[in-house]
Amino acid sequence: MINILTNKTKYALQIHTKGLKDEIIKRAQSRYDNSNTSLSRLDYRILLTFIKGNSQDIISKELTGLRQLQNRLFNLLPNSQDLEEDLEYIFNYKLFRKFKKIKYNGFRLAKNLNIEVCPYCNRNYTTSHRVDGESKNVYPEFDHYLPRSTYPLLALSFYNLIPSCNICNTHYKGSEDPLVRNLYYPYSNYEAIKYFNFGFTPSDSDAILGKSNNLSIDIETAKYSSTPLIRLQVDNSLNFFNILEIYTKNHKALIMDVINKRITYSDNYIKQLENNYGLTFEDAYRVIFETYYEETKLMKRPFSKLKRDIFIELKELT
């Protein structure tokens, strides 16, 4: 799990807010003008007034403020199927994902955020590109951290849209409420990667030398978590996304690769790369292990966290 608050977040938020705050008012007004509301005309006028007065906050508020906004709305208009239908029309996530040459959409949000790897699993790329010659954009899914089924007002809210891979978003997260599950929030005020580490335990001498995958992968949280609350949230999230089992069943070979490269490319060799080619340690590490060492760049390539942790463990053993 990786925090996605970066130096691009503020700009992405500004563009997201500018692109949607007036658009949702237009959609809300047009539904009323066309007499196509699910709510009664009276109740819909209450909804319309609420949206006009809070459109920017609905798009740009942080998580706590978003929950308060929805609670305020539901105090004005008790949640109902009619209300959900009107909200789904106004905050149309499916439309947000469609290709549009001019209007702001999900593709532009993904490009502006530039989160290149799923923050939940750090396994799958979440990059974005436009297909040449076609009216088609390729970009990641957005996990609605607070699910649309429970929080329909927040379907397009910036801080509720988390770029993620299909496996984490669709197969694991789905419509589960993360507040009930006490899951890590990728825009959180702490870095989850600081509170857990991957490790490995070899079962034979070949595994120690990177010649066999007869090893077990471990995830340690206890000694890294500063408070019981953080440890519980990190543990809950690792378990919820099944990280240990997924890595164990699919990615032992990556640990073998790190061991082999660590044996082949000693500290002296890395130092030679630095001296002979004017590289920093981080540059040399990236050349050898094909990923980043810096914690601030772990969201740029898959398995950065795993490789870094195993590298450090091996370094401590030598």
pLDDT digits (tens, 9 = 90+) for 176-201: 999 999 999 999 988 888 889 999 99
Average pLDDT over residues 5-29: 95
Do 35 and 166 share a domain, yes or no?
yes
Do 38 and 88 share a domain, yes or no?
yes
Q: What token pair was written down for 113? A: 């955020």
pLDDT above 90 (res 282) = yes
Supply the pLDDT for residue 267.
Answer: 87
Please give the share of the chain, as a percent, with pLDDT higher than 90.
75
CA distance 196 to 202: 20
Of the candidate ranges 99-103, 136-140, 194-198, the one whose mean pLDDT is the lowest: 99-103
Do 123 and 269 share a domain, yes or no?
no
The answer to whether the Cα torsion of 295, 118, 290, 262 is positive or negative is positive
Do 58 and 133 share a domain, yes or no?
yes
Do 177 and 205 share a domain, yes or no?
no
Whether 74 maps to a domain, the answer reads: yes
Confidence bin at 224 (pLDDT 50/70/90): low
CA distance 192 to 195: 5
Do 173 and 249 share a domain, yes or no?
no
The phi and psi torsions of 131 (rounded to 5 degrees) equal: -75, 120
* pLDDT tens figures, 58-71: 999 999 999 999 99
Supply the pLDDT for residue 190.
Answer: 87
Whether 19 maps to a domain, the answer reads: yes
Residue where a domain terminates, one of 146, 181, 216: 181
Do 239 and 259 share a domain, yes or no?
yes
Whether 4 maps to a domain, the answer reads: no
Do 207 and 255 share a domain, yes or no?
yes
Do 158 and 210 share a domain, yes or no?
no
Supply the pLDDT for residue 316.
Answer: 79
Domain of residue 223 covers: 192-317
Total number of domains in the chain: 2
Residue where a domain terminates, one of 138, 162, 181: 181
pLDDT above 70 (res 225) = no
Number of Cβ atoms within 10 Å of the Cβ of 204:
11
Do 142 and 228 share a domain, yes or no?
no
Residue where a domain terminates, one of 181, 201, 233: 181
Whether 81 maps to a domain, the answer reads: yes
Whether 219 maps to a domain, the answer reads: yes
Q: What token pair was written down for 104? A: 């702001």
Average pLDDT over residues 28-40: 93
**pTM of the entire structure?**
0.91
